Structure 1
Amino acid sequence: MSDIIRRDPRAEWIARNRLHPLHAAMQPMQHSWMGPNGVIRKNVHGVGFIGPNGIRRIDRSGAQQGGAAKRTAAVEVQLPLHQVPAPAFYINVVPDMVGGRLSSHDRDLLGLARQLAGSDGAVLAVVFGEHKESAFATAGVDRLLVLEGHEFEGYAPEQRVHGLRAVDNQFSPRHWLLPDSRSGGGELGRRFAASLKERPATRVWQIKGEECIGRAGAGQEDLARPLPRLILAAAECADPVSETRHEVLPVELSTSLARSLPRIEDLGAVAVDPAAIPMAEAEFIFSGGNGVKDWALFHQTAAALGATEGASRVAVDDGFMARDRQVGASGTWVTARVYVAVGISGAIQHLQGIGACDKVVAINLDPGCDMIKRADLSVIGESAAILKALIAAVETYRNGAKRDAA
């Protein structure tokens, strides 16, 4: 069994935050302290206490198995449950759900909705089609409405606006919140506002009472206006929900949606060269570092995966990659959904640059490097052998898919 210490940033943050409701539960058990008379007192029930007969107290629960590294494992956090049995009103949120999961922008939006809902309102998330998200509860969703149907697949803004109109008629929410993004929320929000004949607040980054503040003048000025019913919020408009978990009760439309003839036909996604995608906008980044010895194999693997290539500063300084491919505080800050680090030890500047990435996969020989500690999935071994196996797995998967389609 591995002795690698797996960090839990969330648990560490709760342990530092004295105002968090779970702060006390995250504190380690105190083994000794000084009494009022200056006498050092010891906890005789603590693990490792040596009694007067010289016998050390042991832990028979199994928590000590694996050595000291296992004792530093993070405690599972159970957040308090927030329930709204009879909502006084609804705050409806339509997340982008890029790749079927909540993005950081979506979580900021849900945090803003939670502020507007308060203790009496409920946050209702409206999701189109199938999704892969399992963390709606910790993101702040009280009610979940999934609009299923092939008519919502792909690029279908007319059908989605038609569905949102039906939701609006049934729930009459106090506010509608959509992300003002290029992933679909910005366009859908403006189309929805035109359908309702309402003027939305766009690029909103702050709400104070009955007033909202949005970006204007190419992002150089702030525009304050009364809070409307339809809000298109920018990224980092609020802090994500972190101190409560929610019920995520499923709800349904009381009436079936009438079929309408769409005027837009989706012809599918257009193939884009991953190398042409800017690093800051890439969703899947395959990054190499000093541990990569076969760069031709590295490029072949990136092409097989369809990923955008990145690199550490060492690889760029050595001339293996261009300067615009450098990831880190001294290069480009990235927000990829998946970031694969091959042969990167994890300097502090590099870890800062990938701090906003959702999932990090590390391939490295050193099981104790900082990148392994940061990663959500780690593969310990020689990078060349792992990359060859990865290419073979991708080809096998694609050949199997072609046979099934035939």
Structure 2
Amino acid sequence: MVARGGVLPLGAQESIAEAGGQVLVIGGGAKAAARSVTGASALWWSDTGPGLRVGAVARVLADVLADVPLLLLPASPDGRDLAPRLAAELDRPLLAGAVSVRRDGAVVRAELSRVDGRLLLTVECAQPAVATLLPGVRTVSAVGHQPDPCEVTLPALPPQVWDVDVVEVVEPDPATMDLGEAGRVVGGGAGLVPAGAGGDQARALFDLLAGVSAALGASAGATRVATDAGWIGYDRQIGTTGVTVGPELYVAFGISGASQHVGGLGSPRHVVSVNVDPSCPMTAMADLGLVTDARDLLVELARRFGVTVAEEVRP
């Protein structure tokens, strides 16, 4: 799996469990990322530097991993980029978007998620394969003993005219980055919008949510109710029919905590709920529950962070 800045990608621990605990971590800060791995039975790392020269890395890994019958990567942005190149280099089938992958002798069996998760396609291939595992599809048990990471020296990355040239690695903008990769997420639900509010007011509130999120160094997300109503884009939808996230911090404004939404939360380290209902599921699962009006608190935070508050959303 590919690390960035010493951080494992979303879905890393699930992929490790699905792969039976054998892990190779590459990328920038691979050693630090390998030390954060849990559940490994064998653990290797190799730092390939900042950025990802995915074509060159695939060429090198194809030689190193040629005898491994099943290569499983998390379906993170880097994983989705590297997996098809590995499959092409090794001349193997690619099982993309799997919810489960198993080896049974020489046969690889997988269930692939299609049509936004509404269809599961069962496939099998009687040969080695490359697969990507969707995040949030399995639980990961706590483990005791953890092996020490072992450094692997990979061959030098070959210069390839067809490969990317990493000029500079720029930190992603929380406002536009892949929501599934965000370390902090601020979510908004129907409870953020006052009863009887018009569409313009609701959209202005979610624009304000995005502004406050940026001030916190976080990405803005939302429930399906909000995206279906057109208050925010569908790429910001968190849930079983949207994006799966696994942030360090999740702040939920006016979100009750329906199972469809919580199913896309993964395992955030800290959860803060802002809701007028102290008994709602989101408040019950939160580390900190603030029983107050979500809109009022959002506006107050915007004022303190210097974020412009539109006239139509002020209490």
TM bracket (short chain): 0.5 to 0.7
RMSD between aligned alpha carbons?
4.8
Which residue matches 1:199?
92
Task: Specify which of 103, 124, 129 is matched with residue 224 of structure 1.
Answer: 124
> Which residue of the partner structure matches residue 263 of structure 2?
355
Q: Is the 8 A contact 1:136 1:248 kept in 2?
A: no
Q: Paired residue for 1:71?
A: none
Partner SS for 2:19 = helix
* Residues 183-209 of structure 1 deviation map (CA, whole Å, 9 limit, x = unaligned): 2324313323444x4424524644252
- Confirm whether residue 148 of structure 1 aligns to residue 47 of structure 2: yes
The aligned length equals 276
Give the drift of 1:323.
10
Q: Which residue in the other structure is 1:258 paired with?
A: 156
Alpha-carbon spacing, 1:222–1:326, altered in 2? closer, same or farther (3 Å): closer
2:104 pairs, out of 186, 199, 209, with: 209
Aligned match of 1:289: 190
Greater Rg by CA: 1
**Aligned-partner Cα distance in 2 for 1:325–1:259:** 35
Distance in 2 of aligned mates of 1:256 and 1:234: 25
**Which residue of 314, 335, 338 corresponds with 2:244?**
335
The aligned counterpart of 2:58 is 161
Secondary structure, counterpart of 2:210 in structure 1: helix
Partner of 1:111: 17
User: 1 or 2 for the larger relative contact order (CA 8 Å, sep ≥6)?
Assistant: 2
Letter in 2 for 1:111: A
**Structure 2, unaligned runs of 5 or more:** 195-200, 308-315
Structure 2 residue aligned with 1:310: 222
Change (3 A) 1:353 1:186: same
- Pick closer, same or farther for the CA change 1:265–1:221 going to 2, 3 Å: same
Counterpart of 2:207 (choices 299, 307, 310) is: 299
Amino acid at match of 2:284: K
Q: Quick one: which amino acid aligns to residue 207 of structure 1?
A: R
Report deviation, 1:123. Answer: 1.4
Counterpart Cα distance in 2 of 1:133 and 1:389? 37
- Contact map agreement 2:274 2:289 (CA 8 A) in 1: yes
**Alpha carbons 1:333, 1:354 under 8 Å: kept:** no
Summarize the Cα distance change of 1:276–1:165 in structure 2 as closer, same or farther, 3 Å threshold. Answer: closer
Give SS of 2:301's match.
helix
d(CA) in 1 for partners of 2:5, 2:259: 24
TM-score by structure 2 length?
A: 0.63
**C-alpha displacement at 1:214, in angstroms?**
4.4
C-alpha contact (below 8 Å) 1:289/1:341 kept by paired residues: no
For residue 256 of structure 1, report the CA deviation from its aligned partner. Answer: 6.6
Question: Is 2:222–2:238's contact at 8 Å kept on the other side of the alignment?
Answer: no
Amino acid at match of 1:191: R
Give a deviation string over 1:278-313, Cα, whole Å, max 9, x none. Answer: x9x795453133255585455223135353452575
Residues 355-388 of structure 1: CA distance to partner in whole angstroms, max 9, x if unpaired? 2314243223555543122225545555434554
| Separation in 2, partners of 1:375, 1:182 | 26
1:2-401 to structure 2, matched below 5 A, reads 94=1, 100-104=7-11, 106-114=12-20, 123-130=22-29, 136-137=37-38, 140-150=39-49, 153-161=50-58, 164=61, 167-168=64-65, 174-179=68-73, 181=75, 183-195=77-89, 197-203=90-96, 205-210=100-105, 211-214=107-110, 222-228=122-128, 230-235=129-134, 239-242=138-141, 244-253=143-152, 255=153, 257-258=155-156, 260-263=158-161, 264-266=164-166, 284=185, 286-290=187-191, 296=204, 298-306=206-214, 307-311=219-223, 313=225, 321=231, 332-338=241-247, 339-344=250-255, 346=256, 350-357=258-265, 358-359=267-268, 360-364=271-275, 367-379=278-290, 383=294, 384-385=296-297, 387-389=299-301, 392-393=304-305
**Closer/same/farther in 2, CA of residues 176 and 321 from structure 1, 3 Å limit:** same
- Distance change (3 Å), C-alpha of 1:342 and 1:103: same
Q: Is the 8 A contact 2:135 2:244 kept in 1?
A: no
| Secondary structure, counterpart of 1:290 in structure 2 | helix
Distance 1:215 1:351 in 2: 23
